[in-house]
Structure 1
Amino acid sequence: MSPPNASNGALTPPLAPDPATVARFAADLARVKVPGEGPLLVAVSGGPDSVALLLLARAALGSRSVAATVDHGLRAEAAGEAAWVARLCAMLGVSHAVLTGTLPERDGRTRNVSARARALRYALLRAQAERIGATAIATAHHADDQVETLVMRLNRGAGLAGLAGVRARGDGTVRPLLAWRRAELREIVIACGIVPVDDPSNCDARFDRARLRSAIGDAAWIAAEGWSRSARALADAEEALDWTAIKLWHERCRAEEGIVTLSPAGLPFDLQRRLVARCVAAVDPASDPRGAAVADAVGMLARGATITLGEVLCRPRRDASDEPVWHFAKARPRRSS
């Protein structure tokens, strides 16, 4: 796993991608609009995707690119892989840090190890970005990741937000490789004379994504760019609906003395669903009802049923004009038996 030799840590062939490839990456990086002129923190695991991102960022940004590797403590080999990335970064003249932390007990509603590792990874990367004044974190999600994500979420019956897939930017993170295929990223690394790390979990059939990756592979029939365009279109639609919901929140909702009311008349179902979720969160910020539960609640309220979502009591009423008004308030504590 040792990186190739280089004199004095200089970025010299074969450690640099070809100029046309770097120019393509620079254009994609410009499209994700990295803010400011500060450092870009590149997340590097040592796998071919993230090593390709590191090489491209170093070639395009020079000293603005810095790197970090997260050791989740889940595999004995991880410490050695992080040290390998550190040596590669030293050869490239890229500042690098190894980040460690304690895996959280759960991420949201799940104890899934992958989800918990993801939560730890982003928490550590955000903290490191703040420490060094990085303007954004860059991750190596690519077109094949996008395809896998969309298929997995379709299998789970995801709504529009889920089908928007992996976003090109958001929450301080940019993903400039979403138009790149996994195979071409590996080719960049090999052309630079580097043999990357192979994480065995990527082939572990216990994980949904690994099973899907094995089934799809590098199938030529998959037009990854087409899938990516569809995901971007869905993300744009999700952003437009969310913007509309925020506007309607100010027009259709009122909060007084612990009670939130919503006037749902004439609104499409999806906007009613989004506003009900906002009303529940306004009453109980700790609530986190699943999307299917909120959708069911909208249908029941429309039929005149009183329901409870978490700790929030949701009741349908009529106003003076006989128009529907839905009330949301803290439910009374359940009596202990």
Structure 2
Amino acid sequence: MQLIEAAARRFAADLAALWPEAERHGPLGLAVSGGADSLALLLISHAALPGRIAVASIDHGLRPEAAAEVALVERVAAQRGIPFAALGVRLAPGNTQARAREARYAALARWARGAGLGAVATAHHADDQAETLLMRLARGSGLSGLAGVRARGLIPDSEVPLLRPLLGWRRSELAAIVAAAGLVPVDDPSNHDPSFDRARMRAALAEVPWLDPLALAASAQHLAEAWAALEWYAELDWHEMVLREESTEGAPCYAYCANAPRIIGIETILRILRALGGHASRAEAARAWDRLWAGQNASLGGVLAVPSAEKVEKVGAVMRVWRFRPEPPRRAPS
């Protein structure tokens, strides 16, 4: 009892930092899989916010055991009088883990809106964050990727707040809370399958005790703050240094007075592309920035960018000016 009471006080403080009382306009929804991490989230939230939570569990249709795992979560919720929803999803073709994540968040957003929830929380913790940071370092990710999972954001393609209040908690702490409650969590076999990057990284971390997951998670948080600052600067760059024009053909055109550091310019290029109905990855936008900086045309996401140098009246100096417009239709071969 003392363990859960102490955990509830700690959780309440962590949650308040992400989701102040004044911003709460509905119950907190919890995504609970039946694993130790998410069961701990359920137990702690129930103690900290009695009568103000709801639980959902998702069957991705990938494993026959999933239905029983959803039923376990339903029993745990029912024993505590917590509203519960079982959500089934179907995956689009492609990368299984990526498609499962997309389907899961889409289902959670629909549930949150239908149930009038104020936010949805997941059980990502410090060990998850450490694994994510190291995996992305190994892939050469940029700053946005190295920032890891964010403590607060929005469920993709929705306005539903997404909270991760356990990023300062260790996996072992959460497991101890579940054990103290007498619950036996499910164990997804993919957590130990070496064909998955995360499982391999988890095993490697376990063999290197001097790597502190809490310290790695703290570094990811610092990187997330740095990324937020860059996003703020990129927003300023968009408003101050990008002008909408009309091309000679009457199509929309954007002139970008490119004077910001490369990492900011890449974000501004992506925003211009979106404004023109195009799409590209950051890596593609980075290659376009390099070509434009070198004085070469760039084509990406259905948009053509042409560099020039001209005097910009609002600045009073000659600057690089890059113009972006939809690419002309390709001529059919005669």
TM-score by length of 2: 0.90
Deviation at 1:199, TM superposition (A): 0.7
Partner of 1:260: helix, strand, or coil?
strand
Whole-angstrom CA distance in 2 between matches of 1:146 and 1:211? 15
What residue in structure 2 maps to residue 155 of structure 1?
A: 138
Is 1:261 aligned to residue 252 of structure 2?
no
What residue in structure 1 maps to residue 298 of structure 2?
A: 307
Structure 1 counterpart of 2:300, which letter? L
Partner of 1:319: helix, strand, or coil?
strand
Out of 273, 277, 280, which is 2:273 matched to? 280
Whole-angstrom CA distance in 1 between matches of 2:15 and 2:207? 24
What residue in structure 1 maps to residue 34 of structure 2?
A: 46
Deviation at 1:243, TM superposition (A): 0.9
Out of 65, 69, 93, which is 2:81 matched to? 93
Structure 2 counterpart of 1:164, which letter? A
Whole-angstrom CA distance in 1 between matches of 2:320 and 2:91? 46
Out of 210, 214, 227, which is 1:238 matched to? 227
Structure 2 counterpart of 1:149, which letter? T
Contact 1:68 1:98 (8 Å CA) reproduced: yes
Out of 3, 12, 20, which is 1:26 matched to? 12
Is 1:329 aligned to residue 325 of structure 2?
yes
Whole-angstrom CA distance in 2 between matches of 1:25 and 1:322? 55
Residue deviations 1:127-151 (CA, integer Å, cap 9, x gap): 1011111100010000000001101
Residue deviations 1:288-320 (CA, integer Å, cap 9, x gap): 312122111111101110120121001101224
Deviation at 1:37, TM superposition (A): 4.5
Q: Percent identity?
A: 47
Whole-angstrom CA distance in 2 between matches of 1:173 and 1:322? 45
Whole-angstrom CA distance in 2 between matches of 1:30 and 1:223? 26
Out of 55, 59, 70, which is 1:82 matched to? 70
Is 1:296 aligned to residue 287 of structure 2?
yes
TM-score by length of 1: 0.90
Structure 2 stretches lacking a partner, 5+ long: 155-160, 247-251, 312-316
Contact 2:129 2:148 (8 Å CA) reproduced: yes
Whole-angstrom CA distance in 1 between matches of 2:223 and 2:37? 25
| RMSD, aligned α-carbons | 1.6
Whole-angstrom CA distance in 2 between matches of 1:251 and 1:25? 41
- Farther-moved stretch of structure 1 (66-75 vs 241-250): 241-250
What residue in structure 2 maps to residue 72 of structure 1?
A: 60
Q: Which has the higher contact order (CA 8 A, sep 6+)?
A: 1
Is 1:251 aligned to residue 240 of structure 2?
yes
Residue deviations 1:164-184 (CA, integer Å, cap 9, x gap): 111111001101100111111
Deviation at 1:224, TM superposition (A): 2.1
Deviation at 1:197, TM superposition (A): 0.6
Contact 1:17 1:56 (8 Å CA) reproduced: no
What residue in structure 2 maps to residue 114 of structure 1?
A: 97
What residue in structure 2 maps to residue 7 of structure 1?
A: none
Residue deviations 1:235-294 (CA, integer Å, cap 9, x gap): 1111111111111211110112210110013x212112211121122112xx33121221
Using a 3 Å threshold, how does the CA distance of structure 1 residues 231 and 323 change in structure 2: closer, same or farther?
Answer: same
Whole-angstrom CA distance in 1 between matches of 2:107 and 2:60? 10
Whole-angstrom CA distance in 1 between matches of 2:207 and 2:153? 28
Is 1:145 aligned to residue 131 of structure 2?
no
Contact 2:127 2:217 (8 Å CA) reproduced: no
Using a 3 Å threshold, how does the CA distance of structure 1 residues 336 and 75 change in structure 2: closer, same or farther?
Answer: farther
Whole-angstrom CA distance in 2 between matches of 1:236 and 1:84? 38
Deviation at 1:218, TM superposition (A): 7.5
What residue in structure 2 maps to residue 176 of structure 1?
A: 165
State how many pairs are aligned. 315
Structure 2 counterpart of 1:299, which letter? D
- Farther-moved stretch of structure 1 (117-126 vs 249-258): 249-258
Out of 219, 222, 230, which is 2:211 matched to? 222
Contact 2:127 2:214 (8 Å CA) reproduced: no
